[in-house]
Amino acid sequence: MMRSYVVTGAASGIGAATKVMLEGLGHTVIGVDLHNTDVNGDLASAKGRAEILAHVVAASGGSIDGVITCAGLRAAAPDTISVNFFGTVEIVEGLKPLLEKSAAPRVAVVSSLSSVSPQDPAIVDAALARHEDQARAAVEASTPDHTGRPRVYSSSKTAVSRWVRQTAPKPEWGGSGILINAVAPGTVKTAMTTDVTASPEATASWLATLPNPQNRIGEASEIAAVLVWLASAENSMTMGQTIFADLGTETILRGDYIW
């Protein structure tokens, strides 16, 4: 059965791999990104998100079967919470009327392994309360964790995974057949991780902190495969989950007391 999808972040990385995979299966894809795809726009602002939604609705023909949100930023800057959280949630919610027309509507969003890392509650709480200005201000005020690593990216992805848990079982979402899930990639070769893949030494140092049994970094196509299945009609029961596609890193870090 051929289906239609919207994929954000479609010009590069995981989003591009997802678009290619879906189109290779014969599906129709409306790509969204800043540049070089079907709908170009800025997810970092409310105005940009509204314009993107208007263009996607116009291009959709009135219905879509799946939304896959891959657009994201890693910088310790306010735009990261705007793109990663608000750019995910508002696009999904804005396309809900189109999803409702599908026989098997699905949503798959990209979280991150970092969602289990230290986060800043002020950022997370403001995002989940849907106060974008407060969330951006919390980013500006945020301090690094005990290792000196900024908590902005991890906070944005924690908020995404918590939104999935809160939203998926609601009657108007899961109850109406719209299944929402997240994928939490580990370290993947994309433009976002060029610092990690810049040299064998940089990669080895990174993997010493975030180990996996295969001692390697993932490929964008490997994450795309998980997203494509979650957003397919074949997925009929998985709902409200964050699936860690990280070569086992989360299992090593958190052990067997959580699953």
Q: In what order do the strands lie in the sheet with 106-110?
A: 39-40, 28-33, 4-8, 66-69, 106-110, 179-185, 242-245
Query: Do 216 and 256 form a contact (C-beta atoms < 8 A)?
Result: no
Instruction: Using CB atoms within 10 Å of the CB of residue 225, give its burial: 0 to 12 exposed, 13 to 18 middle, 19+ buried.
Output: middle
DSSP character at residue 188: B
The answer to whether the beta carbons of residues 187 and 217 sit under 8 Å apart is: yes
Among the options 153, 163, 173, 244, which is catalytic? 153
Using the CB atoms, write b or e for 78-97: b if 16+ within 10 Å.
bbbbbbbbbbbbbbbebbee
Which ranges constitute the DSSP H helices of 109-199?
121-128, 132-141, 152-167
Is 153 in the active site? yes
Decide if 79 contacts 140 (C-beta within 8 A). Answer: no
Tokens of 249: 């890193």
Catalytic residues: 153
